[in-house]
Amino acid sequence: MDIDRDAARFAAHQRALLTRPQARGVGFTDKAIQHRVETGRWGLVHPGVYRVEGAPASWEQTVLAAVLAAGDGAIASHRAAAAMWGIEGIERVIELTVPLARRPTVRGAVVHRTDGLLLPERTRLRHVPLTTPARTVFDLASVIPRGALDRVVEDVLSRRLLPRKALVAQLAAHGGPGRRKTLALQALLEEHPERWERADGRLERRLLRFLKARGFPEPVLQYEVRLANGRSVFIDAAYPDRLVGLEANSYLWHTSRPDWVRNQVKTRALTAMGWAIIPVTWEDLVPNATTFEEELRTALWSSTRP
């Protein structure tokens, strides 16, 4: 029997990682394991966790190695899970959640202990056991500032990583008076009605944060306008009472020319109806933010529906 081949089968499904119990389970002795480490065939990542040499390193591999080192019931959570799910603006910190009765120590990892992690709140992503998006956001409330949590809620809802009702259900499952994560997340959900979920793409989400931070009224997202020919078009963010619309222009670089042409036709038709359509680029919201703010204020307070 080729025990190296059997060990490789484990590693193939664990991002080139292997634990000591798995190695022993396919026939390796402690001496054989040590020999492979000493000869460089396996690398020691954590006590009892090995990496097959030659395999590329990655963030996911680092997270999974920590999960394996923490042992039974361990799962990536909090900021580690948020980074795995692609949630914006979250620092990559190795964080794990383990059963309350266990106290593992994992080098370079923050370990949380709980008896409140439900089975439906556990899943896998690219071979890594981790918390679901809803549980991840719930946990983030206890480790990041309120302002950062605000941006997280906007990100996951507008990107449709999960629906607002999933966060509501998460609070219902674990809510309790006085709990920081419960109170902070509840307040944010009340500030982010369902219409925030209609924002599409990173530029649109940054535009919404820009408007809120600069004290502008909240726009209507994906506002529908019926043109003279009976066709409906949608404005990314609109102030209907002022006939001012904002169109995020990232597509100028990321989509085809026919898409760009269609948008020009739409803008022309809206302009003929009296709308002031303001294109918004990434530069308007970052390096040129002050100028864009002044221009938008001028447009809003000098425009009014006839």
Helices within 44-191 (DSSP H only):
59-70, 78-84, 133-140, 146-158, 164-174, 180-191
User: How far apart are alpha carbons 73 and 101 in whole angstroms?
Assistant: 10
User: How far apart are alpha carbons 64 and 281 in whole angstroms?
Assistant: 38
3-class secondary structure, 87: coil
Residue type present at position 285 = L
What pLDDT, on a 0 to 100 scale, did the predictor assign at position 253? 39
pTM of the model: 0.69
Could you give the domains of the chain? Answer: 3-56 (no CATH), 60-194 (no CATH), 199-302 (3.40.960.10)
pLDDT at 105 over 80: yes
- Give the strand order in the sheet containing 244-248: 220-226, 232-239, 244-248, 276-280
Dihedral, 119, 114, 49, 8 alpha carbons, nearest 10: 0
Question: Residues with Cβ < 8 Å from 157, sequence gap 6 or more?
Answer: 163, 164, 192, 196, 197
109-167 pLDDT tens trace: 999 999 989 999 999 998 999 999 999 999 999 999 888 888 888 778 877 788 888 99
Least confident of 44-53, 75-84, 120-129, 157-166: 157-166
pLDDT band of residue 181 (cuts 50, 70, 90) is low
